[in-house]
């Protein structure tokens, strides 16, 4: 990479950092328990709106993995999410009525929180419908992973978004509070992902899965990106650029090997396609607060009218991380 | 007689205390070196926690850094104190705070008592070690390393390169033959005192203090001066990854560690409660009396290293996306591409499926849709038949298809009407077997009902595309197994090439083909080509077809399969 390009990216990074600094004024603390964060705690950062029914399982899942503190931005929920989160002993909560879109889909807010509270911590930035799976996640805690990453001098850990869906129409099985969403959305596409490189930031751009096949078959270039780097040993100089798809400095995006080997990677199981999806899609379309003129939600809306069944006879039923490893969706790398 | 433990500790003091206590309570005196970087209060707490044991002592502290002399210094001090304070120690065992005894201490003591004069230390000459990091093996002994590898990597590398360029070399002290090996050893009192009390020791120490990673070479080299009874292996099970970091053991390695029959393993993850509880409890003791056998555990770790360095060929995913030329195989398995066969034979796909028992697709890259076998709308891995999705990333489509169907051979048709974007990919892929009947694309035109001027235009277009495609296949970059016949040659004697192709696919290679695919009737095809020529187009890829009504020899029994003996 040339000096000029490196310099430009440096300025871009500074710009995002200033922006985060500016957008922090939109956040007002509901409950600030950040003084309870200890030196080596693993933190979860999340921004959400009206996700009350999902929250109990979300919090339990990450607590069980070994997350010690949640930093959450509530974007003007009116379904009790805020009240519920405020009661949790390990949650620090901010609320905002600011525009999700103009905070670059929450990235600015979370960049600020990570910068303020995440420095020196392993920070996991996930949405309430994303559940991290990593090699040995059934026998080793998240701390084992971050210790190993530390020992290997690795600063960031990639985990692709894997869209999960139910068999049958999306609204056939209603989701109950506290339930494991993958009891319903148990299926995924195992081998239709398309990858290309983003040369500016050095990250991979992954598309495919059920969303590309069912909603974007005629406009594949618009299919949502599935590459994510959710787990980062945060430094206050870092910044997410576009959702958790890419970061600056760009070295953090190199979560893949270019010389034939495999680096260790995980998967974010995406519990988007539950019965709550249709209502959510309609609301989001109404608010026009999503990426690129919400064309993603327009596509959903258009197809949801027919109440589609994403399941096909080649869908795989989720078993465990080893299955995902064998299928080549994630890798142990040299962690054994 | 017993075994003394020299223990180097720098983190996880609680675990170190637990292990030291285990050694001490089982009759092995322990001398602990605590890194000076450990804070004073933490150190004081650590010392106090072990104060109830009179066979645990603490030696002078040094500030230790990986790869430097300080680690040797620490082990020297600990060993000296151990030998001086505990006269009944016959073997000294060097361990770290993250070492865990896997077998009852009694067993290890007995094992060593049966081999009172044996030194267990991995000690290999520099020519014979395959595992050194950073390409430095012999040069560790002949260059100087004033800079820290961890903190000042650029200076470190720069200074090494400078010395190489200047041809700088340190002289190795007389009588020393450089040896390398694991830094975790178990030496006899006799050998160790000879090493530590040698009048030349200051000279050796001065020399080794500037060698890189001296803890892997100091004892390993000197032991050769004082003892001939050397078992060149470490009693400590320690596996290293491709960067030279030790692999870490977790709770889920319990069974693996048990079966290894090794005495001590490192490194153990400090929070691996099951391992610590299991191996440090007395009731878990299983007296196997077996020889240590780390080979059982080797496989899993060497596989991990291979996965990290070579990966799975033909897999493209979020953490493996090789640069061009580094794929280690563009696709994951062999597959066959047939060009012109479905045009020439009516029932080629069914026939091929019967003949080789593989999955036979139609034109996967056809412009209208993906023609999966049986014309399914969705195929393995949930690939769909959408041409738009496929053409968005044709290479990913191909590599996905081959990856998703591992264990089943894939065959597909290809031709000049199809998306040509994968031209180079299949040509350069050693897994591809490409068979071409050139010019066969003209047959559908011959049977088509279109206006002749349109046919002529289409023929010219397809011929141009196929010429380019054949150029790619004939390029010296092509690594696929390519066979090209002109249509005229192929029609002359179709069974022999078919047999060759089928044999190479090799799934049911034991017997000869008994059934041929049914060739379309080519009556009038020569005239058709002549008509194209008369219209000013030059169809040349088919080879020489006779003009006129004379049908090719094989068409004498139209529509009837024939047998070949």
* H or E segment and range at residue B170: none
Yes or no, beta carbons of B310 and A334 under 8 Å apart? no
Question: What is residue B286's predicted lDDT score, i.e. its pLDDT?
Answer: 56
Query: How many domains, chain A?
Result: 1
Question: What is residue A61's predicted lDDT score, i.e. its pLDDT?
Answer: 95
CB nearest B318 (choices: A143, A206, A332): A206
Exposure pattern of A224-262 as b/e (b: 16+ CB <10 Å)? bbbbbbbbbbbbeebbbbbbbbbbbbbebbbbbbeebbb
Question: What is residue B285's predicted lDDT score, i.e. its pLDDT?
Answer: 53
Please, which residues have CB within 8 angstroms of residue A298's CB and are 6 or more apart in sequence?
Answer: A285
Yes or no, beta carbons of A258 and B383 under 8 Å apart? no
Query: A198 versus B297: which is more confidently predicted?
Result: A198
Q: For residues A186 and A293, is the Cβ–Cβ distance under 8 A? A: no
CB nearest B248 (choices: A148, A313, A315): A148
CB nearest A261 (choices: B310, B318, B383): B310
The answer to whether A253 contacts chain B (CB < 8 Å) is no
Question: What is residue B178's predicted lDDT score, i.e. its pLDDT?
Answer: 87
The answer to whether B240 contacts chain A (CB < 8 Å) is no
Q: Which range, of A57-61, A229-233, A241-245, A322-326, averages the lowest pLDDT?
A: A241-245
Yes or no, beta carbons of A334 and B303 under 8 Å apart? no
Query: Which portions of chain B are predicted below pLDDT 50?
Result: 549, 552, 554-565
The answer to whether B326 contacts chain A (CB < 8 Å) is yes
The answer to whether A148 contacts chain B (CB < 8 Å) is yes
Q: What is the mean pLDDT of residues A57-67?
A: 94
List own/partner pairs for A66-70 with CB under 8 A and 24 or more apart. Answer: A66/A42, A66/A141, A66/A142, A66/A143, A67/A42, A67/A43, A67/A124, A67/A142, A68/A37, A68/A38, A68/A41, A68/A42, A68/A43, A69/A33, A69/A34, A69/A36, A69/A37, A69/A41, A69/A43, A69/A44, A70/A43, A70/A44, A70/A45, A70/A46
Helix axes A291-304, A277-287, angle to 10 degrees: 140
β A204-208/A193-197 pair status: antiparallel
| C-alpha triplet A57, A58, A64: angle, nearest 5° | 85
| 402-441 in chain B: CB under 8 A from chain A | 403-404
What percent of chain B has pLDDT above 90?
40
User: Measuring CA to CA, how many Å separate B227 from each of A45, B117, B194?
Assistant: 60, 9, 9
Question: What is residue A1's predicted lDDT score, i.e. its pLDDT?
Answer: 67
The answer to whether B98 contacts chain A (CB < 8 Å) is no
What gap in Å lies between CA B366 and CA B418, rounded to an integer? Answer: 5
Residue A114 in any domain: the answer is yes
Yes or no, beta carbons of B312 and A335 under 8 Å apart? no
**Largest separation between any pair of C-alpha atoms in chain A:** 55
Yes or no, beta carbons of B404 and A221 under 8 Å apart? no
CB nearest B311 (choices: A217, A221, A262): A262
| B304 alpha carbon, distance to own chain's centre | 7
Look at residues A151, A141, A145, A155 and name the one whose alpha carbon lies nearest to residue B266.
Answer: A151
What gap in Å lies between CA B458 and CA A195, rounded to an integer? Answer: 34
Minimal CA separation from A52 to chain B, in Å:
32
Residue A286 in any domain: the answer is yes
Residue A334 in any domain: the answer is no
Q: For residues B219 and B185, is the Cβ–Cβ distance under 8 A? A: yes
What gap in Å lies between CA B418 and CA A308, rounded to an integer? Answer: 31
Question: What is residue A234's predicted lDDT score, i.e. its pLDDT?
Answer: 94
Yes or no, beta carbons of B382 and A265 under 8 Å apart? no
The SS3 assignment for B124 reads strand
The answer to whether A191 contacts chain B (CB < 8 Å) is yes
For residue B243, the chain A residues in CB contact (below 8 A) are 152
Look at residues A61, A17, A80, A69 and name the one whose alpha carbon lies nearest to residue A269.
Answer: A61
Yes or no, beta carbons of A259 and B323 under 8 Å apart? yes
Minimal CA separation from B191 to chain A, in Å:
35
Residue A144's domain comprises 3-327
Please, which residues have CB within 8 angstroms of residue A90's CB and are 6 or more apart in sequence?
Answer: A33, A36, A63, A68, A69, A70
Question: What is residue B541's predicted lDDT score, i.e. its pLDDT?
Answer: 87
What gap in Å lies between CA B456 and CA B194, rounded to an integer? Answer: 95
Q: What is the dihedral of CA A79, A80, A82, A87, to 10 degrees?
A: -160
For residue B384, the chain A residues in CB contact (below 8 A) are 192, 213, 217
| Positive or negative torsion for Cα A306, A307, A312, A316 | positive
Residue B185, phi then psi, degrees to nearest 5: -125, 175
What gap in Å lies between CA A257 and CA A10, rounded to an integer? Answer: 24
Residue A228 in any domain: the answer is yes
For residue A143, the chain B residues in CB contact (below 8 A) are 271
CB nearest B311 (choices: A260, A312, A313): A260
β A246-248/A239-242 pair status: antiparallel
Question: What is residue B450's predicted lDDT score, i.e. its pLDDT?
Answer: 83
Residue A335 in any domain: the answer is no
User: Measuring CA to CA, how many Å separate A25 from each of A13, A242, A285?
Assistant: 20, 21, 27
What gap in Å lies between CA A48 and CA B190, rounded to an integer? Answer: 69
What gap in Å lies between CA B101 and CA B278, rounded to an integer? Answer: 10
Q: For residues B366 and B387, is the Cβ–Cβ distance under 8 A? A: yes
Domains of chain B: 335-552 (3.40.50)
Q: For residues B208 and B222, is the Cβ–Cβ distance under 8 A? A: no
Cis before B124? omega within 30: no
The SS3 assignment for B551 reads coil
Nearest-Cα residue of chain B relative to residue A137: B252
What gap in Å lies between CA A1 and CA A235, rounded to an integer? Answer: 22
Taking phi over 0 as left and psi of -120 to 50 as alpha, with beta for the rest, B447 belongs to alpha
Nearest-Cα residue of chain A relative to residue B398: A192
Q: Is the pLDDT of residue A291 over 70?
A: no
The 10s digit of each residue's pLDDT in A3-16 is: 888 888 888 888 88
What percent of chain A has pLDDT above 70?
98
Dig out the tokens for B156 from the structure.
Answer: 């470190």
The 10s digit of each residue's pLDDT in A163-179 is: 999 998 888 888 999 99
For residue B304, the chain A residues in CB contact (below 8 A) are 332-336
Q: Which range, of A184-193, A294-303, B187-196, B364-373, averages the lowest pLDDT?
A: A294-303
What gap in Å lies between CA A232 and CA A146, rounded to an integer? Answer: 9
The answer to whether A205 contacts chain B (CB < 8 Å) is no
Nearest-Cα residue of chain A relative to residue B381: A191
The 10s digit of each residue's pLDDT in A93-138 is: 999 888 877 777 888 889 989 999 999 999 999 999 999 999 999 9
Yes or no, beta carbons of B308 and A333 under 8 Å apart? yes
| 340-399 in chain B: CB under 8 A from chain A | 378-384, 386, 388-389, 392-393, 396-397
| 285-314 in chain B: CB under 8 A from chain A | 300-301, 303-305, 307-312
User: Which ranges constitute the DSSP H helices of B56-212?
Assistant: 70-85, 105-113, 139-142, 153-166, 189-197, 201-208
Residue that has been written with the tokens 């949502």 in this structure: A224
The answer to whether B447 contacts chain A (CB < 8 Å) is no
What gap in Å lies between CA A258 and CA A205, rounded to an integer? Answer: 14
Minimal CA separation from A37 to chain B, in Å:
20
Residue B407, phi then psi, degrees to nearest 5: 95, -10
Q: How many CB pairs under 8 A join A and B?
A: 169
User: Which of A260, A266, A313 to mutate to probe the B interface, most B CBs <10 Å?
Assistant: A260
Residue B94: beta bridge partners?
Answer: B6
User: Which of B245, B247, B319 to mutate to probe the A interface, most A CBs <10 Å?
Assistant: B319
Q: Is the pLDDT of residue A297 over 90?
A: no
Residue that has been written with the tokens 């709770």 in this structure: B251
Taking phi over 0 as left and psi of -120 to 50 as alpha, with beta for the rest, B381 belongs to left
What gap in Å lies between CA B172 and CA B207, rounded to an integer? Answer: 8
Number of H helices, E strands in chain A: 9, 16
What gap in Å lies between CA B121 and CA B181, rounded to an integer? Answer: 7
The answer to whether B66 contacts chain A (CB < 8 Å) is no
What gap in Å lies between CA B219 and CA B217, rounded to an integer? Answer: 6
The 10s digit of each residue's pLDDT in B291-349 is: 777 777 888 888 888 899 899 999 999 999 998 888 888 899 999 999 999 999 988 99
| 55-94 in chain A: CB under 8 A from chain B | none
For residue A324, the chain B residues in CB contact (below 8 A) are none
Nearest-Cα residue of chain A relative to residue B319: A256
Residue B20, phi then psi, degrees to nearest 5: -60, -40
Q: For residues A50 and A78, is the Cβ–Cβ distance under 8 A? A: yes
The answer to whether A39 contacts chain B (CB < 8 Å) is no
> So what's the ipTM on this one?
0.92
For residue B273, the chain A residues in CB contact (below 8 A) are none
CB nearest B308 (choices: A141, A255, A261): A261
Residue A328, phi then psi, degrees to nearest 5: 85, 20
Residue A154: beta bridge partners?
Answer: none
């Amino acid at each position: 990479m040339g000096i000029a390009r490196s310099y430009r990216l440096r300025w871009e990074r500074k710009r995002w950092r200033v922006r985060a600094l500016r957008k922090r004024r939109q956040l007002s603390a509901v409950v600030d328990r950040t003084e309870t964060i200890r030196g080596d705690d693993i933190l979860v950062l999340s921004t959400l709106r009206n996700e009350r029914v999902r929250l109990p399982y979300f919090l339990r899942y990450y607590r069980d993995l070994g997350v010690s503190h949640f930093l959450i931005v509530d974007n003007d929920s009116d379904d009790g999410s805020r009240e519920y989160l405020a009661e949790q002993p390990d949650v620090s909560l901010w609320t905002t009525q600011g525009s999700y879109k103009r905070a670059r889909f929450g990235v600015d807010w979370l960049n600020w929180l990570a910068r303020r509270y995440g420095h020196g911590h392993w920070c996991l930035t996930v949405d309430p419908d994303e559940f991290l799976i990593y090699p040995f996640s059934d026998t080793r805690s998240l701390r084992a992973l971050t210790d190993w990453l530390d020992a290997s001098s690795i600063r960031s850990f990639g985990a692709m978004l894997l869209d999960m869906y139910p068999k049958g129409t999306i609204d056939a099985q209603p989701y109950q509070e506290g339930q494991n969403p993958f009891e319903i959305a148990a299926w995924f596409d195992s081998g239709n992902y398309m990858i290309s490189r983003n040369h500016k930031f050095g990250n991979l751009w992954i598309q495919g899965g059920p969303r590309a096949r069912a909603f974007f078959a005629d406009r594949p270039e618009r299919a949502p990106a599935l590459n994510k780097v959710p787990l980062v040993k945060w430094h206050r100089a870092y910044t997410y650029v576009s959702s958790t798809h890419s970061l600056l400095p760009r070295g953090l995006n190199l979560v893949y090997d270019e010389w034939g080997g495999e680096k260790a990677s995980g998967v974010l199981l995406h519990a988007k396609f539950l019965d709550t999806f249709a209502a959510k899609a309609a609301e989001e379309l109404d608010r026009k607060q999503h990426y690129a003129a919400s064309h993603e939600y327009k596509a959903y809306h258009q197809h949801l009218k027919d109440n589609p069944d994403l399941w096909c006879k080649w869908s795989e039923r989720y078993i465990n991380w080893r299955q995902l490893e064998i299928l080549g969706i994630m890798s142990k790398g040299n962690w054994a | 007689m017993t075994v003394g433990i020299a223990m180097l500790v720098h983190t996880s003091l609680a675990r170190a205390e637990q292990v030291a206590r285990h050694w001490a309570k089982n009759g092995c005196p322990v001398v602990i070196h605590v890194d000076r970087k450990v804070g004073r209060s933490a150190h004081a707490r650590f010392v106090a926690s072990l104060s109830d044991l009179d066979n645990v002592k603490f030696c002078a502290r040094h500030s230790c850094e990986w790869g430097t002399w300080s680690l040797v210094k620490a082990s020297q001090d600990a060993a000296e104190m151990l030998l001086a304070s505990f006269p009944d120690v016959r073997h000294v065992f060097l361990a770290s705070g993250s070492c865990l005894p896997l077998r009852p201490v009694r067993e290890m003591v007995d094992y060593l008592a049966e081999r009172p004069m044996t030194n267990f230390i991995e000690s290999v000459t520099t020519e014979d070690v395959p595992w050194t990091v950073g390409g430095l093996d012999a040069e560790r002994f002949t260059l100087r390393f004033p800079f820290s590898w961890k903190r000042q990597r650029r200076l470190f590398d720069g200074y090494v390169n400078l010395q190489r360029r200047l041809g700088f070399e340190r002289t190795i002290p007389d009588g020393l033959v450089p040896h390398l090996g694991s830094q975790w050893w178990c030496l006899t009192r006799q050998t160790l005192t000879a090493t530590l009390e040698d009048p030349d020791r200051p000279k050796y120490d001065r020399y080794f203090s500037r060698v890189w990673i001296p803890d892997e070479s100091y004892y390993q080299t000197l032991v050769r001066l004082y003892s001939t009874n050397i078992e060149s292996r470490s009693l400590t099970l320690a596996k290293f990854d491709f960067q030279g970091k030790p692999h870490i053991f977790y709770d889920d390695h319990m069974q693996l560690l048990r079966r290894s029959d090794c005495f001590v393993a490192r490194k153990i993850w400090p929070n691996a409660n099951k391992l610590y509880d299991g191996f440090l409890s007395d009731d878990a003791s299983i007296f196997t009396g077996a020889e240590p056998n780390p080979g059982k555990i080797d496989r899993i770790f060497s596989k991990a290293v291979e996965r990290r360095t070579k990966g799975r060929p033909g897999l493209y995913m979020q953490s493996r996306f090789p640069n061009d030329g580094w794929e280690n195989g563009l696709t994951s398995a062999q597959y066959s591409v047939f060009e012109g066969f479905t045009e020439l034979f009516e029932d080629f796909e069914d026939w091929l499926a019967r003949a080789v028992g593989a999955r036979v697709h139609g034109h996967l890259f056809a412009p209208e849709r993906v023609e999966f076998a049986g014309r399914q709308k969705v195929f393995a891995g949930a690939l769909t038949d959408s041409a738009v999705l496929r053409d968005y990333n044709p290479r990913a489509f191909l590599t996905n298809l081959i990856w998703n169907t591992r264990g089943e051979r894939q065959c597909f048709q290809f031709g000049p009407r199809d998306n040509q974007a994968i031209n180079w990919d299949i040509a350069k892929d050693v897994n591809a077997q490409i068979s071409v009947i050139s010019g066969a694309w003209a047959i559908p035109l011959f049977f088509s009902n279109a206006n002749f001027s349109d046919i002529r235009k289409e023929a010219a277009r397809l011929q141009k595309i196929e010429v380019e495609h054949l150029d790619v296949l004939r390029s010296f970059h092509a690594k696929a197994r390519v066979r090209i016949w002109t249509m005229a040659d192929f029609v002359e004697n179709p069974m022999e090439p078919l047999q060759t192709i089928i044999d190479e696919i090799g799934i049911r290679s034991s017997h000869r083909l008994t059934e041929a695919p049914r060739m379309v009737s080519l009556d009038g095809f020569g005239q058709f080509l002549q008509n194209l020529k008369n219209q000013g187009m030059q169809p040349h890829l088919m080879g020489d077809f006779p003009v006129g009504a004379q049908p090719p020899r094989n068409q004498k029994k139209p529509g009837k399969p024939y047998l070949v003996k």
